[in-house]
Amino acid sequence: MLTKTETKTETRSATLLYLEDFAVGQIFRSGSLTVEAADIKTFAAQFDPQPFHLDEAAAKASLFGGLAASGWHTTAMTMRLLVDGGVPIAGGIIGAGAEELRWPRPVRPGDRLRVESEVLEIVLSRTRPQGRMKLRTTTLNQNDEPVQVMVANLVVPRRSTA
């Protein structure tokens, strides 16, 4: 389970963490999920209806050379992995914007995804009971190849001073 450890080490804890519990260099690892072709097509039909996300034959003739998940689907799966135990932030994972979002390789049916997140920066608010944490989250497939890299700024609550 998630417990605070030294920088550059994996952190696992069932305890929700506040800004004061995080340290630059801290790394969090999630569980995993397997991507199914039907899920790729269902997401694409609703949110990104391009042929290479919807149809194997069309996908084979595309730049991807086969069915590939939408980058936005990859982002949604990344969020699911983060929420299900990737980064246990008290109050939830609240984004304040992304500085970087890349999809270096496609996600395919049968891929098993997991995320690794590293704390890059922590900034306390001078006027609010919260702060900002910059987090790099890399989504990896079963071969430890990155399929998404995102650097995001999160709003993280501080412990109550009451």
Domains along the sequence of the chain with CATH: 10-36+71-157 (3.10.129.10)
Whole-prediction pTM value?
0.89
Nearest to 53 by CA among 90, 114, 103: 103
Q: Please say if the pLDDT value at position 134 is more than 60.
A: yes
Per-residue pLDDT tens over the stretch 53-109: 999 999 999 999 999 999 999 999 999 999 998 999 999 999 999 999 999 999 999
Nearest to 135 by CA among 152, 122, 147: 152
Give the model's pLDDT for residue 145. 98
DSSP string over 60-129: HTSTTSS----HHHHHHHHHHHIIIIIS-BTT--EEEEEEEEE--S---TT-EEEEEEEEEEEEE-SSSS
> CA-CA distances (angstroms) from residue 61 to 27, 53, 65, 143?
39, 12, 6, 25
Confidence of residue 160 (pLDDT cuts 50, 70, 90): confident
Beta pairing partners, 102: 149
